[in-house]
């Protein structure tokens, strides 16, 4: 999934490990050791006292969301508006590379790689579950709202969570990394733009070190959460396929064990294009599934819903970015924290990982091209995806074929119960399980690579040992989250890890804007 | 006085004050160095 393209020059202040002798010294790297110690500690805590970790995470996240939920929303909106301004301003013509440099990938393969980055196990998991969940909540708390309005509102909120605001967080992080690495020759580290902009000062070195540590921690926790959700998805897919009434811990651990074995191999050998092939296969299966649902489901109904969804999104997305539901009852505030705020910090947790990936494939693009591609293409895709999965969920629910209360009893099963209402359900269930599995394997392999790169000072070819250490730690963390056996606990642990990143992304934005002022345009 | 201190020293207020401080710091960092016109030299 990630390509070893880009710059070769490294900041002299950051240690890199190029020779064999240096590689032996890498475990004396304080950042690597502290990062490993921190993530390992959380993993052990999660395994030994799963409920304790989940409870503390829930309490801390409640305090953080209550006290600075407004800042999270404001940051997401400001990042989106900044992206729009950069694309439309004279800075839009600045190239992410040397002047005159051409893009490394064709626009089509660039966009398809972008889909692959944005597509993930989350879309498979929440495709039908999220719109139905919002619909049920609206029905419960605003029973006077007509069903058609509630369905439209539920789809709009889902589009909002997966749309421009999410991609502005990814996009701006990716833009800062791409701009500084390809134009200023810095390593692809989150701290590099800060060091380049503010120079060699003691406080800059300390902040830079902390930023790298927090990035590593946020990526590790975010990815482990995805591993847990992927395992939940696969185990419930197997239950649907073989008509099991419930799934025991043994099945969960077996799925987890197979997953770990599947990603350990690619970490030990350089599969090169093999990883891209796996990622593209998962993407093709998912897109095939989406097209199948569109054609087999009530096509006219789904397309009507999608067009309405586009209209609602265009007119309401920006104002929604300022909504904090502060004058509503406590239940609505709780729903806002559990969904909207949680999503925003989830994107923040993933932003260093996805940002580096987007940056690496965007060399030679102008800022305008970059923002248009990163923000618009995945958002349009998400609107189609949720329009089809969510729309079909509403349709089958209204026809009495799908019981919406599954969201409350076992949210993991929603996608499979929806597929069960259509022909060839065994085949589509197997396809969903396969896609979820491949998405997790490719994500963990890519994440282990990025974590190894970040923790060794931006080394473009981190050793197998370091990648294996991170692969193992991601497995441990994933196991801790799996043992919590709760999607909401997983989301809260991720939210807690991403808390500081809301500040880091703003600091990165300041670095970019400050540096752009010096461009000779 | 006790009531005033109690209100000022709540977790919510302190977290928000740190956010206000952060926003102020970011604005200052953005404009810092502009007056001298030497920011390019320092950065490069």
* A321-336 pLDDT tens trace: 999 988 888 889 889 9
Cβ atoms A18, A195 nearer than 8 A: no
Tell me if A494 is assigned to some domain: yes
pLDDT for B34: 67
Chain B residue numbers touching A517 (CB-CB < 8 A): 34, 39
Residues 6+ apart with CB under 8 A from A132: A154, A390, A393, A394, A397, A404, A407, A414
Q: Which of A256, A288, A282 is nearest to A419 (CA)?
A: A288
Give the Å distances, CA to CA, from A255 to A125, A158, A228: 16, 29, 11
pLDDT band at A507 (very low <50, low <70, confident <90, very high): very high
Given a cut of 90, whether residue A369 has pLDDT beyond it is yes
Residue B39: closest C-alpha in chain A: A518
Quote the minimal CA–CA distance from A332 to chain B in Å.
Answer: 20
User: In 3-state terms, what secondary structure has residue A299?
Assistant: helix
Among A2-16, A96-110, A313-327, A350-364, name the one with the lowest average pLDDT. Answer: A2-16
A41-45, A257-261, A510-514: least confident range = A41-45
pLDDT over threshold 50, residue A10: no
Do the domain assignments include residue A2?
A: no
- Residue A17 vs residues A11, A200, A452, A453: alpha-carbon distances, Å: 13, 22, 11, 10
Query: Who has greater pLDDT, A316 or A47?
Result: A316
Q: What is the pLDDT of residues A14-70, one digit of tens each?
A: 444 455 545 555 556 777 778 888 888 888 887 888 788 888 888 888 888 888 889
Nearest to A363 by CA among A173, A93, A181, A171: A181
Please, where are the H alpha helices in A89-146? 107-118, 121-126, 129-141
**Domain assignment present for A6:** no
Structural domain includes residue A436: yes
Average pLDDT over residues A217-231: 83
* pLDDT (tens digit per residue) in A451-503: 888 888 777 778 888 888 888 888 888 888 888 777 777 777 788 777 788 89
Contacts of A171 by beta carbon, 8 Å cutoff, 6+ apart: A79, A83, A358, A370, A371, A374, A375
pLDDT at A32: 76
Q: What is the mean pLDDT of residues A391-401?
A: 86
Q: Taking the CA of residue A432 as centre, how many other CA atoms within 13 Å lie in the half-sphere pointing to its CB?
A: 38
pLDDT of residue A92: 93
pLDDT digits (tens, 9 = 90+) for A129-146: 899 989 989 988 888 889
Q: In the predicted model, is pLDDT for residue A4 greater than 50?
A: no
Other Cβ atoms within 10 Å of A420 Cβ, number:
17
**Percentage of chain A exceeding pLDDT 90:** 29
CA neighbor of A229 nearest in space, from A446, A469, A44, A494:
A494
- Tally of domains in chain A: 1
Residue A7 lies in a domain: no
A249 vs A192, which has greater pLDDT? A192
pLDDT band for position A416 (50/70/90)? confident
Does the beta carbon of A515 lie under 8 angstroms from any beta carbon of chain B? yes
Helix (H, G, I), strand (E, B) or coil at A187: coil
Contact residues of B toward A, CB < 8 A: 11-12, 15-16, 19, 22, 26, 29-30, 34, 39-40, 42-43
CA closest to A519 among chain B residues? B40
Q: How many Å apart are CA A221 and CA A365, to the nearest integer?
A: 31
| pLDDT recorded at residue A111 | 80
What one-character DSSP code corresponds to residue A95? B
Which chain B residue's Cα is nearest to A71? B19
Contact check, Cβ <8 Å, A514/B19: no
**Cβ of B42 and A199 within 8 Å?**
yes
Single out the residue of B7, B11, B9 nearest to residue A62, CA to CA: B11
User: Which among B11, B19, B42 has CB closest to A63?
Assistant: B11
Cα nearest neighbour of A520 on chain B: B40
Residue A514 belongs to what H/E stretch? Answer: helix A501-516
* Banded model confidence at residue A272, pLDDT cuts 50, 70, 90: low
Give pLDDT, residue A26.
56
Q: Which pLDDT band, with edges at 50, 70 and 90, does A270 fall under?
A: low
Residue A326 in tokens:
């502060």
Candidates B11, B29, B30; nearest CB to A67: B11
> At A295, which CATH number?
1.20.1740
Tokens of A348: 């923040």
Does A228 have pLDDT greater than 70? yes
The answer to whether residue A133 is domain-embedded is: yes
Range of the domain at A483: 20-516
Could you tell me if A73 and A502 are in contact, meaning their C-beta atoms sit under 8 angstroms apart?
no
Which carries the bigger pLDDT value, residue B37 or residue A206? Answer: A206
Q: Is residue A12 part of a domain?
A: no
Provide the mean pLDDT of chain A.
84
pLDDT category of residue A103 using cuts at 50, 70 and 90: confident
Q: Which residue(s) pair with A366 in the sheet?
A: A95
Write the DSSP assignment of A345-384 as a string of letters: HHHHHHHHHHHHHHHHH-TT-BHHHHHIIIIIHHHHHHHH
d(CA A175, CA A495): 23
CA-based nearest distance A447→chain B, Å: 30
Strand partners, A95: A366
A291, part of any domain: yes
What is the spatial distance between Cα A179 and Cα A201, in angstroms, rounded to a whole number? 22
- When CB atoms are compared, the residue of A63, A68, A199 closest to B43 is A199
Return the pLDDT at A124: 80
Answer whether A197 sits within 8 Å of B19, measured CB to CB: no
Residue B40 has what pLDDT?
Answer: 46
pLDDT-based confidence at A2, cuts 50/70/90? Answer: very low
Q: How far is B2 from chain A (nearest CA, A)?
A: 22
- Give the pLDDT score at A47: 80
pLDDT tens sequence across A418-433: 888 899 988 999 998 8
Q: How many CB pairs under 8 A join A and B?
A: 36
Report A:48-77 residues touching B (Cβ under 8 A). Answer: 63-64, 66-68, 71
Angle between helices A464-484 and A30-48 (to 10 degrees): 30
pLDDT band at A273 (very low <50, low <70, confident <90, very high): low
The residue of chain B nearest to residue A66, with distances taken between CA atoms, is B12
pLDDT beneath 50: ranges in chain B? 37-44
Provide the shortest C-alpha distance from residue A316 to chain B (in Å): 27
Quote the minimal CA–CA distance from A513 to chain B in Å.
8
Of B15, B29, B40, the CB nearest to A518: B40
The full DSSP string for A374-395 is IIIHHHHHHHHHHHHHHHHHHH
Q: How far from A320 is each of A115, A262, A294, A311, A317, CA to CA, in Å?
A: 24, 41, 28, 14, 5
């Amino acid at each position: 999934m990630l390509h070893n393209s880009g710059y070769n020059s490294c900041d002299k202040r950051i240690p890199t490990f190029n020779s064999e002798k240096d590689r032996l010294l890498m475990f004396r790297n304080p950042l690597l050791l502290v990062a490993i110690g921190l993530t390992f500690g959380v993993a052990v805590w999660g395994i030994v006292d799963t409920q304790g970790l989940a409870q503390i995470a829930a309490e801390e996240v409640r305090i953080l969301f209550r006290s600075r939920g407004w800042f999270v929303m404001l940051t997401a909106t400001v990042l989106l508006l900044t992206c729009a301004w950069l694309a439309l301003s004279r800075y839009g013509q600045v190239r992410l590379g040397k002047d005159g440099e051409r893009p490394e990938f064709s626009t089509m393969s660039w966009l398809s790689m972008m889909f692959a980055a944005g597509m993930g196990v989350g879309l498979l998991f929440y495709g039908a579950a999220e719109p139905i969940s919002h619909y049920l909540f609206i029905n419960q708390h605003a029973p006077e709202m007509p069903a058609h309005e509630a369905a439209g509102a539920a789809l709009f909120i889902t589009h909002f969570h997966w749309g421009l605001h999410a991609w502005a967080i990814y996009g701006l992080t990716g833009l800062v990394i791409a701009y500084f690495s390809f134009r200023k020759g810095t390593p692809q580290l989150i701290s590099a733009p800060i060091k380049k902009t503010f120079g060699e000062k003691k406080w800059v070195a300390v902040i830079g070190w902390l930023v790298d540590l927090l990035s590593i921690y946020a990526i590790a926790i975010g990815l482990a959460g995805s591993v847990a959700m992927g395992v939940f998805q696969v185990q419930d897919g197997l239950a649907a396929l073989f008509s099991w009434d419930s799934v025991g811990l043994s099945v969960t651990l077996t799925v987890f064990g197979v997953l770990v074995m599947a990603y350990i191999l690619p970490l030990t050998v350089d599969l090169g294009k093999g990883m891209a092939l796996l990622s593209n296969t998962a993407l093709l299966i998912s897109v095939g599934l989406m097209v199948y649902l569109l054609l087999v489901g009530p096509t006219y109904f789904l397309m009507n819903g999608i067009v309405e969804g586009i209209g609602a999104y265009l007119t309401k997305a920006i104002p929604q970015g300022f909504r904090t539901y502060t004058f509503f009852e406590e239940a609505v505030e709780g729903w806002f924290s559990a969904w909207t705020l949680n999503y925003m910090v989830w994107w923040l947790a993933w932003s260093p990982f996805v940002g580096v990936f987007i940056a690496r494939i965007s060399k030679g693009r102008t800022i305008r091209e970059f923002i248009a591609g990163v923000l618009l293409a995945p958002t349009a895709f998400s609107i189609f995806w949720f329009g089809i999965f969510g729309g079909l969920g509403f349709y089958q629910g209204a026809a009495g074929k799908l019981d919406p209360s599954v969201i409350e009893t076992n949210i993991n099963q929603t996608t499979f119960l929806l597929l069960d209402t259509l022909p060839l359900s065994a085949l589509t269930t197997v396809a969903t399980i396969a896609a979820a599995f491949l998405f997790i394997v490719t994500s963990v392999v890519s994440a282990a690579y990025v974590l190894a790169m970040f923790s060794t000072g931006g080394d473009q070819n981190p050793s197998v040992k370091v990648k294996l250490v991170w692969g193992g730690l991601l497995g441990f963390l994933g196991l801790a989250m799996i043992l919590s056996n709760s999607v909401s606990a997983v989301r809260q642990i991720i939210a807690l890890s991403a808390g500081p990143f809301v500040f880091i992304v703003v600091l990165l934005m300041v670095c970019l804007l400050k540096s752009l002022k010096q461009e000779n345009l | 006085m006790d009531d005033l201190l109690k209100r000022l020293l709540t977790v919510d207020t302190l977290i928000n004050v740190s956010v206000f401080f952060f926003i102020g710091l970011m604005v200052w960092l953005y404009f810092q160095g502009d007056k001298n016109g030497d920011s390019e030299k320092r950065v490069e």
